[in-house]
Structure 1
């Protein structure tokens, strides 16, 4: 009998849920206890302070009072926190469920690890039962021992199966983080289900959240209906305009082409340093009709000043937004201003008129099609209407006259027109007083209909994978073998050295191109058996270089340094042995090594450095100039390079299999700010001494290194160059390192290029759809865009030097990541780049793995590593020719060394350039050998919708989202295959109804495709874990899902032009098993066949009978 009723007793202080199978009551502490079938289950509020100090209503420490139908409590915060946690609990009924209404608030500003409503379940009764977090992780069995349940993530409910096809369900009206914890490891025989109210960070007075929970034992088949009743699904069409409210409160207005406009709070610190709402510590609550965001945004360079805000967003009829803001400064702070910033993309609104309602009446300005007046309007307004005649135009209203600054951000390298509603603006520097508060109400609407998504994580979006098939790539096997590309062992022809803009071998003089991957963190330390299998697998996929990375990271499962000591000045013997054997195995398979040095090292007390507890990873950027930190780097490098690998018998400095080295990863003076004492003071002294030597006078008072000036940028170049020179001289002259060396390895600005002038090569990193701090990502296919990450990578390719790309990727879960491996290989070959390593292979060596376990884990991703063999052939073999005439993009030395130093994103000459021409960057005056030159601020070479490399081998159709690679030995079509119709290269014709993917065929001999007796055809579409889910806008992972990996098979009709009449097509599984040959026809010089369904693979060998 499952029916039950809630009976409220007026004769006691508790509410009792009576009748079988369970009951519940609320006691005078605010603890809800359950009886009957749920005997031993209880719930209460709790909070953790720093160091995981704890306070809960269950302790009895709270002062409580019953008010009407609820209990109100005042709970002292944990000992190392300030103030109290105010909470209310109410117990009621909703149909068959007990309904709990809980609210939490704070009395003082303090730092917490988290605040929650916690449900405690009897472990003995539920051990071994299957549990899940709907809209979150997949089903897991609750542990029998003390191990972790492995359930954590965004979710709207927790469920656990009981008997007789029934389940216990705890559902919430909001999707947020839920953690399931096994408390037996802490001596408590319970499983704790912790529903997060407030995350780690600062909380302050006035922050309050209210959540509703329902608890029921119901038939398992009714779980979905119960959760949906509390979280109604959002009807959403991504092809129509919509406004997306993000969790910190910023709003993006989107359509199928991308972002049209954005709304966010922002603060300018002194010197116009900047912080926007996306950087705030905030928490959101509510529904998709009304939502409250409470947060705090640091005032830049103010010594800890905060702007606290409460933002209430409500949906209005017709798809309009009502926005109410309360902004509060608890302490005085110096700043240039704070504002609500509304930015319209110039790609949408260029040329539009803007109607303004001012105190003097209507006024109209126009958004120029090119940069003109940087500030088209300044003055008070109550309404702004952008593009009144455009359905995508928008109107903003404000409840009282507010100073508006319209700013054309093209003047600062941007692509928006900004409508800045200023609550304070002081050009020379102003100040807010302690307690200053602003209340303002805005309205926002599009001219046309607009959908509203106020809870981006509240509803999941799942790809229909009903006809996808499992495809798990084993960690220790390869389906194909192109290891013939490698000479073995690595180092056979001497050390790698630099000759002009190429890498060559010292003994043979032969040029070498590197195609490979990175090993990150624990992946650098496999067992001996694992090392042998990993190295052999990599070689079969065409890899000839591995970059070691994060081997110094303390968070890795294994790393270089012993955990048991208080310093980082010695190696862990076991881990070093594992590293040595891995290097030996790679060398044996013909795989070279790019040896990273300083990446993520966390210095310890015993290292003897200042402010050790406050130093960030790798002590960035202080490790560029502090003598003690540089000495520790030298000590580490000497120890590693002079260490004799017992398996090769060589010190690393004497092993020609070690190919390249960088001093420090993503570490520079220009983009990472110096603020920490005593380092800042020491740098200031050095700055003043340098300035005196240059005859310059610096302003009095403390130097703010977060606000660069022209002299400061020149000084940073001096400091950066001095660090590189010191490391270079030490490694060359004292340690005896012979391989090419470089400094920092990312494309940031031309000032960094100037500092790298004397290094052997340059290096860069770039990603398509890189996830942000909150896990969100663009999820935009690069084939649809006019700019590519190859454009920005090439910014770092300096004339006269080899160029390496040590990190590139389109991370999971971007749907479109199959677009990048072949395209990157083709463009790199066309550009004449000298090496690439995808980021990354793995961060661990744990096996087996049947799912994609992280954004950057490529080793078992069909959409990335599945294309690696063909990509290796395209790049390493030179199937794509290097462009014959290299364009030089010129940047004047003075411009490069200024505060307005060009970046890959602001320098428009690079935008679209990689599609058409090989290019390089020249800082200063180009030489006579520089060929065609173009200024960094000219877009004359960008190209249109149809683009073609000047060799004719790479073609793009941007409107249809198609990329074609067409060479004698490798030919590929990729992108939006169904939209492309019949796609052709010289020898390959493919017709496919698949949404997205890549189809490539490569000769496995020196012969061209039409004469080759052995070819590899790979066809890859989208790939996801089973049960994977995005949020509703598909720009954030909501559930990682579980194994197996599923692939959207490319179904296509293939016609291959060939002179051979004896070819057969053999599907090959992920493990390398050969299946039955496909049915083929050979007519008029073409071999035709169909791929996809039935074979259930992405790999096909096309070969003559003699190879079978």
Structure 2
């Protein structure tokens, strides 16, 4: 998975990086960073919690259903996931927890407003192996561990470990009790052993793409799915297939045969001692796939067409027609391009149709099924959508400036609305299908990571998506963790992202941001899909010439159909700021710098970006007079009332995060020194103005620590002409519980 993500996810072109480099202002340097560690073990129920958004136990209304383009509970109400992935790569963390930690973690996630988790990497072995330092590149990073999954130790990977199953069962029961649903991800990182009977088991790693057509691998996937989903959980007294707390079942993770074709990985040169470029196939599997292709050609092309294809490929009569390499695609005759694309698409469709049949009929799964994710935005996604459209849910992954992408990084997304994760994700949303984002992050290190959650939550609500799962939340083992960020993707000890999770839950899960008033659609012909498959990277992420990429920031955006009459919405008038058709969201920049997103709804409001350069921007109830150049400030009603009438609010004041002593390398691409505990924050310092609070006679703010407990003295608000103002910055914090007396 890590290798696949390192190569396949979150690419950022040189042109994009250079553009962002030229426009990125520096964060303020005159506000000293202050220690602010997160401690989940010490957190207890608090008036600042978002647990009230959950309606537990999970599944009490019956199974989640996919219909009419969205997810619904059994009682007919809309269902959305505000979730996290569960993994275990970081120091002191674990995928499957001891019982006490599992109990604590489930309660903590509920407090954060998390109502879904994605169980990731369960198909790894019980015995963890260490990943070397520098796994994501040449710069020093903490030594990684592999998550300990369900697979027993031994000569084969076909047995589940009873002790690990018990940990899963108990964790699942605790999550369910707290109102948290589970997404089971089936084929993620499994590797194979001599006793599995898998050809080239020692060369294929986690067998991405091979799993679609290798008969031994297909059989093992079915066996594992039946072992896991057919397992009776003794704590719930239900098989997982029969438990309505299972919201979603995913078949494969970041795994596509079409991706291998578009990324030049069907070469068939992976051998022991070879160069073994990236994820290339072994000769055995390439020969198997070529044989399948030629059998397909014999059934789906006339003798004359087949002779022409042999001529295009330069092979004699009776010889198999080989696959092209990616470098041949731009100039390839359409009959050859179309034949390869059609065949590989059919292999994917057939595999997922059979897996869905097996899960439903042989295992008895009743939850919606996600076949795969659109996870590589630097290749065209329309061919992959043909496969995903055949199942229940469309899904996507994306990362802002993934740490595996070398060169300059650490750019603010708020300066690049046309390149943001919103555009990259919105390309896959389809009319009539629920849409989820099962992996997303603004990975660490970043001086601008505080922008991600409020921006994503707000625009996901505008787009009326059905689920977001941040990658990743790594639960900690008592006595083994250190209060610092130890992984590029782990948000569990990031004080900014933890503070913002409840605010994001209110923006998205509670629906404080309204869905767009208008949905603009597009459709693709067969000819367009073929041509898109060979367009250059410069056409990413949409691979749709003429499409206005600002549309998802203004209106809803969906694909209506594939292989039909092509349609394309007209470009929008140029605008700065770019304002949503609801009027609640606004995104402004100044020539690619000083970006700011404002969120203005009755129950949640926020200003995210370069505050100092946009002092004139405010929302109905929130304005800022702070020293920080860059910040993400959110104000959320905790009692469900509009902010002007709310008596209890959550104020998050977030900015830069670092580990103590961390240092960037010379290229500002990754850390040369990861640093030590504790984490440090740049305190948001100055005055927060709360305006138009009807009938308020007193306003106070209680600063909260990294366990959401009160710290310091209660801060008394001062009355000003527009309302009230609160001094922030001392003590250093990321969150305040606001109380209003009327």
- Tell me the TM-score normalized by structure 1: 0.56
In the alignment, the residues of structure 2 paired with residue 514 and residue 252 of structure 1 have an alpha-carbon distance, to the nearest angstrom, of 34
Shifted more, 463-472 versus 785-794: the winner is 463-472
**In the alignment, does 2:718 pair up with 1:1081?**
yes
Q: What is the CA-CA distance between 1:793 and the residue it aligns to?
A: 0.5
Larger relative contact order, structure 1 or 2 (CA cutoff 8 Å, min sep 6): 2
Going from structure 1 to structure 2, the CA distance change for 1:972 and 1:922 (only over 3 Å counts) comes to same
Q: What is the CA-CA distance between 1:462 and the residue it aligns to?
A: 12
Q: What is the CA-CA distance between 1:894 and the residue it aligns to?
A: 2.8
Going from structure 1 to structure 2, the CA distance change for 1:711 and 1:259 (only over 3 Å counts) comes to farther
Going from structure 1 to structure 2, the CA distance change for 1:878 and 1:253 (only over 3 Å counts) comes to closer
- Residue among 372, 395, 404 paired with 1:763: 395
Going from structure 1 to structure 2, the CA distance change for 1:252 and 1:496 (only over 3 Å counts) comes to closer
SS at match of 1:744: coil
Q: Is the 8 Å Cα contact of residues 520 and 844 (structure 1) preserved in structure 2?
A: no
Report what 2:283 is aligned to: 677
1:601-631 deviation digits (Å, cap 9, x = unpaired): 00111110111111121x1111011221111
Q: What is the CA-CA distance between 1:252 and the residue it aligns to?
A: 7.5
SS at match of 1:984: coil
Q: Is the 8 Å Cα contact of residues 832 and 883 (structure 1) preserved in structure 2?
A: yes
Report what 2:213 is aligned to: 625
Q: What is the CA-CA distance between 1:1081 and the residue it aligns to?
A: 1.7
SS at match of 1:523: coil
Report what 2:200 is aligned to: 611
Report what 1:567 is aligned to: 156
1:1044-1073 deviation digits (Å, cap 9, x = unpaired): 100001113122121122332211222232
In the alignment, the residues of structure 2 paired with residue 1010 and residue 253 of structure 1 have an alpha-carbon distance, to the nearest angstrom, of 45
In the alignment, the residues of structure 1 paired with residue 14 and residue 401 of structure 2 have an alpha-carbon distance, to the nearest angstrom, of 17
- Residue among 279, 289, 293 paired with 1:687: 293
Report what 1:489 is aligned to: 57
In the alignment, the residues of structure 1 paired with residue 596 and residue 351 of structure 2 have an alpha-carbon distance, to the nearest angstrom, of 45
In the alignment, the residues of structure 2 paired with residue 798 and residue 504 of structure 1 have an alpha-carbon distance, to the nearest angstrom, of 17
5 Å-filtered alignment, 1:9-48, equals: none
In the alignment, the residues of structure 2 paired with residue 254 and residue 793 of structure 1 have an alpha-carbon distance, to the nearest angstrom, of 17
**In the alignment, does 2:368 pair up with 1:740?**
yes
Going from structure 1 to structure 2, the CA distance change for 1:502 and 1:798 (only over 3 Å counts) comes to same
1:682-729 deviation digits (Å, cap 9, x = unpaired): 211211121122224132356135435221011111110000001000
Q: Is the 8 Å Cα contact of residues 982 and 992 (structure 1) preserved in structure 2?
A: no
1:5-48 deviation digits (Å, cap 9, x = unpaired): xxxxxxxxxxxxxxxxxxxxxxxxxxxxxxxxxxxxxxxxxxxx
Report what 1:69 is aligned to: none
Report what 1:719 is aligned to: 347
In the alignment, the residues of structure 1 paired with residue 372 and residue 475 of structure 2 have an alpha-carbon distance, to the nearest angstrom, of 22
Report what 2:33 is aligned to: 468
Q: Is the 8 Å Cα contact of residues 992 and 1052 (structure 1) preserved in structure 2?
A: yes
Q: What is the CA-CA distance between 1:505 and the residue it aligns to?
A: 1.6
Q: What is the CA-CA distance between 1:523 and the residue it aligns to?
A: 3.2
Q: Which has the higher helix share?
A: 2
5 Å-filtered alignment, 1:286-685, equals: 467-478=32-43, 480-506=48-74, 508-521=75-88, 523-554=94-125, 555=129, 556-563=146-153, 565-617=154-206, 619-672=207-260, 673-674=265-266, 675=268, 676-685=282-291
Report what 2:559 is aligned to: 921
Q: Is the 8 Å Cα contact of residues 526 and 564 (structure 2) preserved in structure 1?
A: no
Q: What is the CA-CA distance between 1:892 and the residue it aligns to?
A: 1.6
Q: Is the 8 Å Cα contact of residues 624 and 720 (structure 1) preserved in structure 2?
A: yes
Q: What is the CA-CA distance between 1:465 and the residue it aligns to?
A: 8.3
In the alignment, the residues of structure 2 paired with residue 468 and residue 844 of structure 1 have an alpha-carbon distance, to the nearest angstrom, of 25
Going from structure 1 to structure 2, the CA distance change for 1:665 and 1:557 (only over 3 Å counts) comes to closer
SS at match of 1:647: coil
Q: Is the 8 Å Cα contact of residues 28 and 628 (structure 2) preserved in structure 1?
A: no
Going from structure 1 to structure 2, the CA distance change for 1:537 and 1:844 (only over 3 Å counts) comes to closer
Q: What is the CA-CA distance between 1:463 and the residue it aligns to?
A: 9.4
SS at match of 1:628: helix
1:628-678 deviation digits (Å, cap 9, x = unpaired): 111100000001011011111111011111100111000001122332221
In the alignment, the residues of structure 2 paired with residue 767 and residue 607 of structure 1 have an alpha-carbon distance, to the nearest angstrom, of 34
Shifted more, 544-553 versus 885-894: the winner is 885-894
SS at match of 2:612: helix
In the alignment, the residues of structure 2 paired with residue 539 and residue 713 of structure 1 have an alpha-carbon distance, to the nearest angstrom, of 45
Report what 2:356 is aligned to: 728
In the alignment, the residues of structure 2 paired with residue 791 and residue 1078 of structure 1 have an alpha-carbon distance, to the nearest angstrom, of 40
Report what 2:585 is aligned to: 954
CA root-mean-square deviation = 2.5
5 Å-filtered alignment, 1:84-123, equals: none
Q: Is the 8 Å Cα contact of residues 1028 and 1040 (structure 1) preserved in structure 2?
A: yes
Shifted more, 487-496 versus 859-868: the winner is 859-868
Going from structure 1 to structure 2, the CA distance change for 1:612 and 1:891 (only over 3 Å counts) comes to same
Q: Is the 8 Å Cα contact of residues 747 and 796 (structure 1) preserved in structure 2?
A: no
Report what 1:1068 is aligned to: 704
Q: What is the CA-CA distance between 1:471 and the residue it aligns to?
A: 0.5
In the alignment, the residues of structure 2 paired with residue 970 and residue 1038 of structure 1 have an alpha-carbon distance, to the nearest angstrom, of 39
Q: Which runs of 5+ in 2 are unaligned?
A: 1-12, 130-145, 269-281, 330-336
1:903-925 deviation digits (Å, cap 9, x = unpaired): 52533526222211110123337
1:374-395 deviation digits (Å, cap 9, x = unpaired): xxxxxxxxxxxxxxxxxxxxxx
**In the alignment, does 2:732 pair up with 1:1096?**
yes
Q: Is the 8 Å Cα contact of residues 36 and 681 (structure 2) preserved in structure 1?
A: yes
Q: Is the 8 Å Cα contact of residues 970 and 1002 (structure 1) preserved in structure 2?
A: yes
**In the alignment, does 2:575 pair up with 1:1004?**
no
Going from structure 1 to structure 2, the CA distance change for 1:607 and 1:255 (only over 3 Å counts) comes to closer
In the alignment, the residues of structure 1 paired with residue 448 and residue 298 of structure 2 have an alpha-carbon distance, to the nearest angstrom, of 54
Q: Is the 8 Å Cα contact of residues 519 and 842 (structure 1) preserved in structure 2?
A: yes
SS at match of 1:991: strand
Report what 1:219 is aligned to: none
Q: Is the 8 Å Cα contact of residues 787 and 912 (structure 1) preserved in structure 2?
A: no
SS at match of 1:566: coil
In the alignment, the residues of structure 2 paired with residue 843 and residue 677 of structure 1 have an alpha-carbon distance, to the nearest angstrom, of 41
1:988-1014 deviation digits (Å, cap 9, x = unpaired): 111222021101100012210000111
Report what 1:848 is aligned to: 481
Count residues with an aligned counterpart. 645
5 Å-filtered alignment, 1:861-900, equals: 861-898=494-531, 899-900=533-534
In the alignment, the residues of structure 2 paired with residue 1007 and residue 254 of structure 1 have an alpha-carbon distance, to the nearest angstrom, of 42
Going from structure 1 to structure 2, the CA distance change for 1:254 and 1:588 (only over 3 Å counts) comes to closer
Q: Is the 8 Å Cα contact of residues 842 and 856 (structure 1) preserved in structure 2?
A: no
Going from structure 1 to structure 2, the CA distance change for 1:878 and 1:255 (only over 3 Å counts) comes to closer
In the alignment, the residues of structure 2 paired with residue 469 and residue 685 of structure 1 have an alpha-carbon distance, to the nearest angstrom, of 63
SS at match of 2:283: coil
Q: Is the 8 Å Cα contact of residues 717 and 897 (structure 1) preserved in structure 2?
A: no
Going from structure 1 to structure 2, the CA distance change for 1:462 and 1:493 (only over 3 Å counts) comes to closer
In the alignment, the residues of structure 1 paired with residue 208 and residue 16 of structure 2 have an alpha-carbon distance, to the nearest angstrom, of 36
Report what 1:328 is aligned to: none
- Tell me the TM-score normalized by structure 2: 0.83
Who wins on radius of gyration, i.e. which is larger?
1
SS at match of 1:851: coil
1:376-420 deviation digits (Å, cap 9, x = unpaired): xxxxxxxxxxxxxxxxxxxxxxxxxxxxxxxxxxxxxxxxxxxxx
Q: Which has the higher strand share?
A: 1
Report what 1:234 is aligned to: none
In the alignment, the residues of structure 2 paired with residue 781 and residue 712 of structure 1 have an alpha-carbon distance, to the nearest angstrom, of 40
Q: Is the 8 Å Cα contact of residues 121 and 147 (structure 2) preserved in structure 1?
A: no
Report what 1:912 is aligned to: 550
5 Å-filtered alignment, 1:1005-1044, equals: 1005-1044=639-678
1:160-179 deviation digits (Å, cap 9, x = unpaired): xxxxxxxxxxxxxxxxxxxx
In the alignment, the residues of structure 1 paired with residue 205 and residue 630 of structure 2 have an alpha-carbon distance, to the nearest angstrom, of 41
Q: Is the 8 Å Cα contact of residues 484 and 659 (structure 2) preserved in structure 1?
A: yes
SS at match of 1:1050: coil
